[in-house]
Amino acid sequence: MNEIDLIRLLPEIVEKSRIQANKIINGNNSKFNIERINDINQEENRNLLYKSDNIHAMKDLLSKGYGSKIDLIYIDPPFYSKADYIHRIEVTNDNEKKGIETFGYTDTWKDGIKEYLEMLTVRLILMKELLSEKGSIYIHLDYRTVHYVKIITDCIFGGDNFLNEIIWAYKSGGTSNKYFSRKHDNILVYTKTKDYIFNPQKEKSYNRGFKPYRFKNVKEYEDEVGWYTLVNLKDVWQINMVGRTSKERVGYRTQKPENLLERIILSSSNEESIVADFFGGSGTTAIVAQKNNRRWISCDMGHISAGIMRKRLGQTNKEPYTILNNHDFLWEDRLIYELDKEINHDTAIYNFRFKEYNVDLSKIDLNKKNRSNLEHVIKSNSIALIDYIGLGYFENKNELNIQFEGLRSQDRLIIDNDIELEVSSTKELVLRVVDVFGQEYLQRV
Ligand SMILES: C[S@@+](CC[C@H](N)C(=O)[O-])C[C@H]1O[C@@H](n2cnc3c(N)ncnc32)[C@H](O)[C@@H]1O
């Protein structure tokens, strides 16, 4: 399709998407299985992680009364890059680090940009329904589609409610001799109304010559570069990407830096606001929201992404959250262990010794080299493929309550040998096993 045809098509895409969004709002709900994590007081729905297509998640939220309740939505959807994204897992085997690369998520579109824009437009319409009257939405894109999406979002949110286009500039490897190296992304910001949350953030502005001006009533500061004042943030943000050696790095190819999300969250939400990200990826928005005392909603349809989010959340301060999954629970005894169990009134002490993990290779997308690396690990240390262990019990058929979490850190599962749980002895305990490929299983203990 040529550009003129595409521009002509934009109003049609918006109209069709409005009809589709209405159908979704009035249609049937998806059924979700529920997993409560660290939720001892059964604090209903404080933070939510949907493991599904975000269209089902948004429909579910609207039917649960979240319409006009979300103060901030940040989305970082696929950019129409026409590429598949690889996820890299590090595993130590015989003291040697092995990288295993597998499929992460796809950004390829059979029917081209029209299909991409249709996908995004209907979702943006649903997001508007969820935004509170004081709410804002940040839409993270790049040069490939930002100009088309700007026209669509002007139609959805109203050109008058367009607040900013933020340029996120970064350094990263790769340059070109044929064009200027592309080192920025574009973030479109809209508010739902004119009465929106906005907490101006400050940035350093270095004095000319890095020397003090000593103007009256102007506060000046000094750091290792020189003298500066603090000014309100401008719309060009220079923030480093998550680099190879960064402590934040989780191996998710399109992981965004916490600093970027922190600016957005502090600017456009307050403590206890609900902050949502419907293309959650590695969970950066949820993590930063949690660290800054916001409630959060995240969603991703990829297995790897959901697995990473579980682990990252387990490593952050342990706020309760609920996973809503529109797949059935899968019962398979893949983890082999020995167990000693001591019951003391209402408390039971469990001592697990994990022996072996029978990873299911049939659903994992691996090339020859990665398969061979993986086979090595399976032979010598299959437990290194476990990313997350949960221990809990069923409240009812569709509701699992996880009260203990063990996480893989760096490249091995860290778990105290003794796990103490205060659980009535009548409850049947289950193990939640998640491997590095995001495959999830339940086993009876
Ligand atoms: C660019 S990544 C987001 C990265 C994220 N900002 C981070 O910091 O890790 C986009 C994500 O959107 C997810 N995704 C794409 N289409 C989706 C859909 N319809 N519903 C839910 N998730 C989707 C992909 O699986 C991918 O993880």
CB atoms within 10 A of CB 223: 10
Q: Is the CB of 279 under 6 A from ligand 1?
A: yes
Q: What is the pLDDT of residues 123-141, one digit of tens each?
A: 999 999 999 999 999 999 9
CA 97 to chain centroid, in Å, comes to 26
* Cα–Cα dist 432/404, whole Å: 10
Domain ranges of the chain: 3-29+45-198+231-324, 335-444
Nearest CA to ligand 1 atom 7: 255
pLDDT given for residue 425 in this prediction? 65
Cβ–Cβ under 8 Å, residues 274 and 205: no
CA 431 to chain centroid, in Å, comes to 24
Tell me how far the alpha carbon of residue 280 lies from the centroid of ligand 1, in angstroms.
5
Dihedral sign from CA coordinates of 218, 220, 226, 232: negative
Range list of H helices, 316-392: 368-381
Nearest CA to ligand 1 atom 25: 302
| Secondary structure of residue 151 in the 3-state scheme | helix
The percentage of the chain sitting over the pLDDT mark of 90, rounded to a whole number, equals 67
Q: Is the CB of 255 under 6 A from ligand 1?
A: yes
- Taking every pair of C-alpha atoms in the chain, what is the biggest distance, in angstroms? 74
Cβ–Cβ under 8 Å, residues 285 and 270: no
How far from 170 is each of 8, 167, 226, 259, 284, CA to CA, in Å? 34, 10, 22, 12, 17
Q: Is the CB of 302 under 6 A from ligand 1?
A: yes
**163 sits in which H/E element:** strand 162-169
Q: What are phi and psi of 254, to 5 degrees?
A: -105, 25
pLDDT given for residue 87 in this prediction? 87
Does CATH place domain 335-444 in 2.60.40? Answer: yes
Tell me how far the alpha carbon of residue 78 lies from the centroid of ligand 1, in angstroms.
7
Q: What is the pLDDT of residues 61-91, one digit of tens each?
A: 999 999 999 999 999 999 998 888 888 888 7
Tell me how far the alpha carbon of residue 278 lies from the centroid of ligand 1, in angstroms.
7
Nearest CA to ligand 1 atom 12: 279
Q: Is the CB of 52 under 6 A from ligand 1?
A: no
Q: What are phi and psi of 148, to 5 degrees?
A: -70, -45
* Cα–Cα dist 319/39, whole Å: 8
Half-sphere exposure of 303 (CA within 13 A, CB side): 15
Task: Catalogue the E-assigned strands of 13-150.
Answer: 33-37, 48-51, 70-75, 83-93, 96-107, 131-141
Question: Which among 275, 258, 261 is positioned nearest to 135, based on CA atoms?
Answer: 275
Q: Is the CB of 78 under 6 A from ligand 1?
A: yes
Tell me how far the alpha carbon of residue 49 lies from the centroid of ligand 1, in angstroms.
13
**Has residue 122 got a pLDDT over 80?**
yes
CB atoms within 10 A of CB 359: 18
Would strands 412-414 and 399-409 be described as parallel, antiparallel, or unpaired? antiparallel
Tell me how far the alpha carbon of residue 222 lies from the centroid of ligand 1, in angstroms.
40
Range list of H helices, 38-145: 54-63, 112-130
**24 sits in which H/E element:** helix 3-26
Indicate the length of the chain as a whole number: 445
Position in ligand 1 atom list of the atom nearest CA 302: 25
Question: Which among 177, 159, 119, 167 is positioned nearest to 141, based on CA atoms?
Answer: 167
Q: What is the pLDDT of residues 225-268, one digit of tens each?
A: 999 999 999 999 999 999 888 999 988 889 999 999 999 999 99
Q: What is the pLDDT of residues 186-239, one digit of tens each?
A: 999 999 999 999 999 999 999 999 999 999 999 999 999 999 999 999 999 999
Tell me how far the alpha carbon of residue 367 lies from the centroid of ligand 1, in angstroms.
23
Q: Is the CB of 282 under 6 A from ligand 1?
A: yes
Tell me how far the alpha carbon of residue 299 lies from the centroid of ligand 1, in angstroms.
8
Tell me how far the alpha carbon of residue 293 lies from the centroid of ligand 1, in angstroms.
23
* Cα–Cα dist 101/246, whole Å: 19
* Contacts for 267 with CB less than 8 Å, ≥ 6 apart: 198, 199, 200, 201, 233
CATH of domain 3-29+45-198+231-324: 3.40.50.150
Q: At 404, which amino acid appears?
A: F
Q: pTM of the predicted model, to two decimals? A: 0.95
| Secondary structure of residue 59 in the 3-state scheme | helix
